[in-house]
Amino acid sequence: MSLYDISANLNNGQEQSLGNYRGKVLLIVNTASQCGFTPQYKGLQELYAKYRERGLEILGFPCDQFGHQEPGTDTEIKSFCELNYGVSFPLFEKIEVNGENAHPLYKFLKSEKSGVLTEGIKWNFTKFLVDRRGKVVKRYAPATAPAGIARDVERLLVARAAA
């Protein structure tokens, strides 16, 4: 199974095959609107604005498994992100990232890049960087600011240009 065999529902309920992102560099993030890391939405949007035209897609997956920090509906989450952070990258329906009900995407991501001491997602805003071939190349801790990922994103985008 590859990343491109997985589908997820966009925030509006429409099913989206991750195969639609083939050839793109992906930054996949589990998000929450009432978390100490929530201001990272701003940095994620800045990365998206800077690199989207070169092939970056950021995919946001709201999750309420950590401290009940994403209690809203999908509509409320989208509105919050747009109004407070100008988010224009794709947001998906709220999912679970750990446990038996974990979304297949997160089962895949965790199997490709486990965390320190555990495979599980430890908190909101854990980030996975995926290259244009669908290979998970790096996992970032929640405290890693989006600006701290920019160099790695740039490398993957440049690698395509050199190929």
Confidence of residue 64 (pLDDT cuts 50, 70, 90): very high
Q: With 70 as the cut, is the pLDDT of residue 26 above it?
A: yes
Structural domains in the chain (count) = 1
- Give the per-residue SS3 of 124-146: CCCEEEECCCCCEEEEECCCCCH
Above pLDDT 90, what percent of the chain? 88
State which residues form the domain around 102: 3-162
CATH number at residue 68: 3.40.30.10
Residue 118 half-sphere exposure toward CB, CA atoms < 13 A: 7
Tell me the catalytic residues.
35
Confidence of residue 53 (pLDDT cuts 50, 70, 90): very high
Look up the pTM and report it: 0.94
CA distance 52 to 32: 22
CA distance 108 to 57: 18
Query: For 82-93, what is the mean pLDDT?
Result: 96
Q: With 80 as the cut, is the pLDDT of residue 160 above it?
A: no
